[in-house]
A and B are shown apart, each in its own frame.
Chain A
Amino acid sequence: MASSPSNGDRSTALWQYVAAREYALPADTVEQKIRSGIGALWKKFESEEAPPESPVQPEADLRELSRLQANVVAPEPAASAAAEALDAALAPWLADPAPDHPVVFLVVPPHGFREKTLDTWTHRHQWQGVAPPDTEAVLANDGQWMRDAFNDRQPWVFPCLERAFLRHARGLSLVRGLMDALSAGQLGRGVVGCDSWAWAYLMHIWRGRSPWSLAAQAFDHEHLAHWFGRLAAGAGQRHFDFRQARDGRYVLPPAGGTGEEDDTPPKTTSFLRHLAAHARGIPGIALALWRASLRLGPEDPPEDGADEGSDDTPTPTAPHSTLWVTAWEAVHRPSLPSEKDRDLAFVAHTLLLHDGLSEELLADVLPLSAPRIRQVLSKLEETGTAGVDRDRWRITAPGYPAVRQFLQNEGYLMDSF
């Protein structure tokens, strides 16, 4: 997401905000479904060249990147480009002194960098940031929170609507009142961020007119290639080639060309197509799996004493070197146990609806005992599909596709993304 002035336009184009109803999944998702459905049969008809009998880089010779190395090669993005794109999408609305819709809703799936983007955007515009109500205020339908949070008439940004409700018999009144006030324009002009799962639920429990909502467009394989290339380039000092360990083919177009006389870009593998489809175009999920798929070759020196607590910036590889990418089939993707487990579905779905909850609140909203909830959370943690993040249990980025598929199969309410 970090952009240099020379190619800022391209970088901004990575992030696009569209009306929520115009959101489109990566086109490869259908292919991905077919692949997962008929698995081995597909391989017989696959158009790709067969892998060589002896891989270019045997998996056994490759090493995983440490967290610090991964942070250099595929760092967590800054939010400036996404905020610029949001600016572009909101430009007509910002320019209009009396818009038809005083409030814009930004609906983004989990791990879509929503809060980070809105924080950056809020600082850029010097709008007032609205903190979410605490749990007691939600359950008590405390009108004081709304009066305090939106007291002055300056424009505001409320980045986490999902924190304004709890799926509890007494946890919906506050958010209904808030949505009524927002849609009636009583709270002035503002931007509301909301997780896509919470949004799907709110659209069922709130009976108002469908509000104006934007969504961050999904990343397809071309977007991912461009994005990963820019993240790896950092400030432009590094050049990494990303090649498939199995056959040596490029996963991203090489940063400095192939060095051969014929300078046409080499054909890249289908790795990013699979990644985009599996991640449903959600950048945070694609990035997490991308980081998990990268390997260092035996020629790369081991990290010299750059442990996690060191202040020294590590140099994982030479300024221009090759990073190897495991085969898509070999990328570790967390999965859920195959047997049906109602309680596991309850916990996973509740975590998604609230974009994470503490163990105590899970016990308040689910008809399960505290020990049972701890047991289910442990199970989710073991499978890598959930973990503690900022004092809340959340579905992890790599585990999200498996959890979503599981809940969809079991008939639970889904988001639209």
Chain B
Amino acid sequence: MNGIGSISDIALKLNAWNLIMIGLIILCACLLAVASQRLLPWLAGKLPGRYRYQVLALVPLMRLLIIAAGIVLIIPHIIEPTFENLMALLAAFGVALGFALKDYISSLVAGVVTLYEMPYRPGDWIEIEGAYGEVKSIGMRAVTIVTPDDTAVIIPHLKLWDRPISNANGGSHNLMCVADLYLHPRHDANLAREALLDVALTSPFLRIERPVNVVVSEKPWATHYRIKAYPIDPGQQFNFITDLTIRGKATLSDLGFELANAVPAYA
């Protein structure tokens, strides 16, 4: 540690008064962080839909600002904030924590990275290692998602480094839904496709300003129709798919189409 003082060289200022001040700063920061974590989602819930996600996205940012402010306020109570002292402190903590809490620190660092890379934000619908759900909160170490079955899944941020993260709406309201229908192969595919387009265009869940499409592909045992459309509210995606499926089946049946019911022989 040539040029910078070692941890033993740092003039520590840890007297009783400073310890009390540090405790108070930590307490205030915790209170502020908890308050922002509760108040902002509450406020977002009260706001019109178009502002909801912007306000939710402020939660991790507010926490970062509070933590940064807390650190800045605490350091002068521990050491004389000279360049040498700061570097020595950081080096010492880095070595000690790096070995003991590698994954934890990695998650914390990844948590900071999420703030500017924004692979997920509160309100996004994401999938990480098979867990799909809505991002409810982003902590410093982990992200909490709630699955459609109302199960909370806590995923450490360090997955960010080496695992694919699928984000269905990427901070916007635009989340594509796909409803699958299978018809007996012998039919007029154009007529079926037009009927299914109208099924989508008449759904009250539909965000009609976004494109609607029906993709057709042939399977050995059926013709596969995929209705692709966007709901007004991403939170209604499963109700939207249900609506498309129920009305799609009813409409096709009314028009005399035969739904595929054969199980593939190789399945």
Contact = CB atoms under 8 A, between A and B. Distances in A.
Interface of A: 167-173, 201, 204-205, 338, 342, 346, 349-350, 365-367, 408-413
B169 interface: no
B59 interface: no
B123 to A, nearest CB: 13
A169 B192 CA distance: 12
A201 B236 CA distance: 21
Interface stretch (B20-28, B89-97, B196-204): B196-204
Given A366-B204, A410-B232, A172 B198 contact: yes
A175 to B, nearest CB: 11
B195 A169 contact: yes
Given A171-B202, A342-B233, A409-B49, 15 more contacts: A167-B204, A168-B202, A169-B199, A172-B198, A204-B201, A204-B209, A338-B46, A342-B236, A350-B204, A367-B246, A367-B247, A409-B48, A409-B50, A410-B49, A413-B208
Nearest to A165: B202
Contacts of A169: 195, 198-199, 202, 247, 250-251
Contacts of B247: 169, 367
Contacts of B209: 204, 413
A170 B251 contact: yes
Contacts of A408: 48
Task: Output the residue of B204, B208, B209, B232 with the most chain A CB within 10 A.
Answer: B204
A320 B91 CA distance: 90
A349 B205 CA distance: 11
Contact of A367 (B46, B201, B243): B243
Contacts of A170: 198, 251, 254
Contacts of A412: 232
Interface string B207-234: 1110000000000000000000000110
Contact of B232 (A350, A365, A411): A411
A207 to B, nearest CB: 11
B173 interface: yes
A204 B202 CA distance: 11
A204 B48 contact: no
Give the 7 A-B residue pairs with the shortest CB-CB distance, closest first: A409-B48, A169-B251, A346-B204, A169-B199, A167-B202, A204-B208, A411-B232
A338 B47 CA distance: 10
Given A169-B247, A409-B48, A410-B48, A365 B202 contact: yes
Contacts of A204: 201, 208-209
Nearest to B204: A346
B267 to A, nearest CB: 30
Interface of B is mostly: helix
Given A169-B247, A169-B251, A411 B207 contact: yes
A172 B201 contact: yes
Contact of A411 (B173, B201, B254): B173
15 contacts: A167-B202, A167-B204, A168-B202, A169-B195, A169-B202, A170-B254, A173-B198, A201-B208, A204-B208, A205-B201, A365-B202, A367-B204, A367-B243, A408-B48, A410-B48
Contacts of B195: 169
A413 B205 CA distance: 11
B51 to A, nearest CB: 8
A225 to B, nearest CB: 33
Nearest to A412: B232
A168 to B, nearest CB: 6
Contacts of A346: 204
A169 B199 CA distance: 5
Nearest to A353: B204
Contacts of B236: 342
A171 B201 CA distance: 11
A355 to B, nearest CB: 17
A34 to B, nearest CB: 17
A410 B46 CA distance: 12
Contact of A172 (B50, B173, B202, B239): B202
Contacts of A413: 208-209
A280 B100 CA distance: 65
Contacts of A366: 204
Interface string B145-173: 00000000000000000000000000001
Interface in B36-82: 46, 48-50
Contacts of B232: 410-412
A182 B247 CA distance: 30
A368 to B, nearest CB: 9
Given A169-B195, A169-B199, A411 B233 contact: yes
Contacts of A201: 208
Contacts of B207: 411
A408 B49 CA distance: 9
Contacts of A168: 202
B211 to A, nearest CB: 11
A27 to B, nearest CB: 24
Interface string B232-264: 110010010001001100110010000000000
A377 to B, nearest CB: 15
B202 A411 contact: no
A167 B243 CA distance: 14
A410 B52 CA distance: 10
Contacts of B202: 167-169, 171-172, 365
Contacts of B250: 169
Contacts of A409: 48-50
Nearest to A350: B204
A201 B195 CA distance: 18
